Every structure is written in structure tokens, then in C-alpha cells.
Amino acid sequence: MLKTIIKKEIQNNIFSFRFLTSFALLLIIVTVTIFILTNDYLKKIDEYSQRQTEIENYMKSYAHFNRIGNILQATQPPIPFYSLVRGLSSDVNIEEFDDDPLPVIFPLIDLVFIVTILMSLVALILSYDSVCGEKEDGTLKLMLSNGFSRSKAILGKISGGVLTLLIPFVFSLVVGLLIIALQPRVAWNGADWGALGLIVAGAVFYFGLFYCLGTFISSRHHSSSSSIMTSLFVWVLLVLIIPNLSPYLASFISPTPSRISIDRQTARLTDTERDDLGRKLMKEKLEELVKKYPVLAENLAEAEIKDRVTRDPAYREAYEARTREVQAAWDEANRIQGEKASAIWREMGRKEAAQTELSSYLSMLSPLSDFTYLATDLSSTGVRNEAHFGRIREMWGRAFGDYQRQKIETLQKQDPAVDWWNTAVDMSDRPRYNYQEEGLGGRVKATLPAFAVLVIFNLILFSAAYFSFIKYDVR
């Protein structure tokens, strides 16, 4: 009986005009999108290789330690998954255009957009009249009068609907993946294919919950027109409003001071207040030092001081002591004020992290956010990969800093008369930055909360659809 209902639901869907239209639309969009993203990825690969070549050529001719700060930086190479998921790569700095601003003004769509926007709409389009539409046609009453149980009927409707959605999604995705597979320069490994499989599983949970949502709404209405309006309202709320509203709500609940005000506050601490403290400490130290070296109380011109330092060893000793105390005073002032500024920035970072975390939790009330986090983290194109890249970059920065100090010390021992900081140096033996994606296990572990929320959404909406249909008046 259940198989009969599932088969009937699939047949009713696949022979409908809205299914055929959705199938054709998805096939075209997915194929074209993957083709464009694949070519965009190849372009990024070429640009990255060209930049690395130019850097190597620069290092061979102009490798001064004083010049390479803005040249020799850790950069992340394009990730093969960019052929499907753009993630944070779409966040381009508008000041760094080559000559075409359109990719930033009108960013390319990707698999995440197709699933979160198109597939959710297709799911609602197919399910908004799954109950009330059959009531209007009279087929629902006829089906139940022939001995079909309501529990099996609703289970069969939802199962058949989700299986129907799989047909255009999987078919169009397979066609798109053929483009990737036929391009030898897009080198996917086993972890990439494993991540894709998990993304597809997440996509099934995602559009499955929207089919459950459409069925639930349909079982709460007695006309298709009111059902579709309610479905679209809830879709806008879940897909558009909650993800975009969550950062503003988080900033209201957990406010943080503006970075401009923090900049001004720390600038005052490390500038004018530092100077005042430095002069105060210097005055105190010099007052103590004069007791030991009374000659320092004499008010001499700069030329007289130089002359006396040269010919009077006792004065030279006193002047060197004064220089040390003055330096110590300013070092202490820099330390004290620097610690105050660092404490302010640490507190700012803590508040920003708390606000970001709260915003993330609030956004997870939207299934769109859950799938986006899931897909971008699994594909190494999201926020988690940015943090992973930052850790690797920091490790490389420390390694290069150690290399730089050791290199200069070695060169100065060889020739102390040369200013090696501003002299071309052979750095071919420098530590190289080598980006490695995070292992699939760590990515999967990070996406478990998003998977869990999607599963919970499915359970809640399926239960709501089930109990609504059990009590639904089919007359």
C-alpha cells in the first residue's frame, strides 16, 4: 500500500508541467553554472601561478629584507571545490578589480545558491497543494475511502515528493560533474568526492524539510491559493529574513564598541598619554640619577656635551648612565601604555567573537544558514577554512621571522660593514608557504551541528505534517 502511494505521488509529480519546467530549469542552470565556475577556477589557477612566478623573479633581483614585507606574503591557492562552491571566494575587494566589476556587482551563483534558493522553491511548488489540492479535486476523499490509512498516505506523499525532487537534482548534478571530470586541470581527490557526497546528503535533508513544510501548510489549508501564499511567506521568513536579520539582532543583544572609537582610544594611549608618562618617568629617574652624578645637573649645550663626553671619562660615564635611564623610562612607558592598548583590543576581540557566535547561533534558525555552513565548511570554502588558513599563515610567518633573523646574523658575521637589511640577499633557501586543506574528518566534525539542526527541522516538520493530516477534514 505504501509503495502504491509513493509510486502514485512520483507519477503525479513527474507528469506535471511544474515538474518538467523545474527539471529543465535546474538542468540548464546547474550545467551552465558548473561550466562557468570551472572556467573561473582555471583562470584563478593561471593567475595564481603567474603571481608566484613574478614573486620568484622579484626575489631573485630585489630580495632586500626591507622591501619584501608587502611582496612575500602567504596566499591561499584556488581550491578545486571552487568549481562547485564559491564560498568566501565571492567576497572580492571592490578596490582590487582587474578591469571588470560585474563579477562583484552580479556574483556568480553556485551549488549552495541552487540548493538553498532554487531547490527549496521547487520543493514548495511541488508540495503546496499535495493535500488541499487533492481535496479540491476530490481524489483525497476517494483514496481514503478505499482503505488507505492516513499515516501511510502522508508518509507516502512525503517520501514520493522527496524522491521526485532527487530526480532533477541528481541528474543535473551528474551532468555538471561530467564537466569537472572531463577537465584534467581540476584535480579532485578522494576527500573532495567524500565531501561532495556529504553535501548532497545535506541537500536532501534541506529540500526534504521544505517538502515537509509545504505538505504541512497544505494540510492546514483547504484551498491551493491560500496554501501557496502561506508557503511563500514562510519561505521568505526562513530563507531571506532570518539569515539577514541575525547579525543585527546579535549586535542589539551583544553590542560591541565601534572600531573607530577603539582606534581613537588606543591611539591616545600610545601617543599623547604615552608621551606624558614617558616624560614623568624620565624626570623621576633623572632626579634620582643626579644624586649619584651631580655633574648631570649642569645645563650644557649639545656641542658642550659632546666635547665633554670626549675628554672627561667621568662625565662620559654619567652621560651613558643618563642615556640608559632615559631609554628605560621610555621603554617602561611604551610597555605600560602598550599593555593598556592590548587589553582594550583583547576585550574588543572577545566581544566581537561573542557577537559573531551569537549571530551564528541565531542564523541557524534558518535552514538556509545550516546548509550554507555545512556546504562551505565541507568544501573548505567557508569561515572555518579562513581560520585554518590563518593558523597556517601564522606558523609560516613565525618560521620566516626566525629565518630572517638567523640569515641576517650569519651575513653580518661574514661582513659586518654591509647593511644587510637594505642589501639584496639570496633567499632561495627561505621557508616556503605550503597550504594544505584541513582533513575531511575535522570538516565533518565541524558540520555535525548543522546536520543535526537539519535533521531536527525534518523531524519537527514531518511530525507537524503528519498530525495535521491525521486530523484533516477531507470533506
The alpha-carbon radius of gyration of the chain (Å, integer) is 33
Structural domain contains residue 261: no
Which residues, in sequence order, are CB contacts of 6 under 8 Å at separation 6+?
Answer: 156, 159, 160, 163
pTM for the full predicted model:
0.82
DSSP 438: P
Structural domain contains residue 390: no
Structural domain contains residue 358: no
Give which of 453, 251, 442 is closest to 372, Cα–Cα.
453
Number of structural domains in the chain:
1
pLDDT value of position 61:
75
Q: Which helix (H) or strand (E) holds 430?
A: none
Structural domain contains residue 351: no
Return the amino acid letter for 448. L
CA 53, chain centre distance (Å): 28
Structural domain contains residue 394: no
C-alpha cell recorded at residue 308:
665633554
Return the amino acid letter for 107. P
- Spatial separation of the C-alpha atoms in residues 81 and 195, rounded to whole Å: 10
Q: Are 162 and 196 in contact (CB under 8 A)?
A: no
pLDDT value of position 316:
83
Structural domain contains residue 144: yes
Low-confidence ranges of the chain (pLDDT < 70): 1, 89-108, 417
C-alpha cell recorded at residue 228:
501557496
The size of the chain, in residues, is 475
**Torsion sign over Cα 247, 248, 252, 257:** positive
pLDDT value of position 417:
64
Checking phi first, is residue 138 left (phi over 0); if not, alpha (psi -120 to 50) or beta?
Answer: left
pLDDT value of position 98:
46
Give me the residue label for grid cell 511541488.
Answer: 126
Structural domain contains residue 148: yes
Domain that holds residue 208: 2-254+434-470
- Spatial separation of the C-alpha atoms in residues 145 and 139, rounded to whole Å: 10
Give me the residue label for grid cell 565541507.
Answer: 378
Torsion angle, alpha carbons of 81, 87, 90, 92, to 10? -110
Q: 3-class DSSP state for residue 424?
A: coil
Which residues, in sequence order, are CB contacts of 166 under 8 Å at separation 6+?
Answer: 204
Q: Are 443 and 195 in contact (CB under 8 A)?
A: yes
Q: Are 443 and 378 in contact (CB under 8 A)?
A: yes
pLDDT value of position 95:
43
Residue 412 CA: distances (Å) to CA of 73, 103, 156, 401, 417: 25, 50, 80, 17, 8
Structural domain contains residue 156: yes
Exposed e or buried b per residue across 131-169, where buried means at least 16 C-beta atoms within 10 angstroms of its C-beta: bbbbbeeeebeebeeeebeeeebbbbbbbbbbbbbebbb
Q: Are 162 and 204 in contact (CB under 8 A)?
A: yes
**Torsion sign over Cα 367, 373, 375, 378:** negative
pLDDT value of position 211:
95
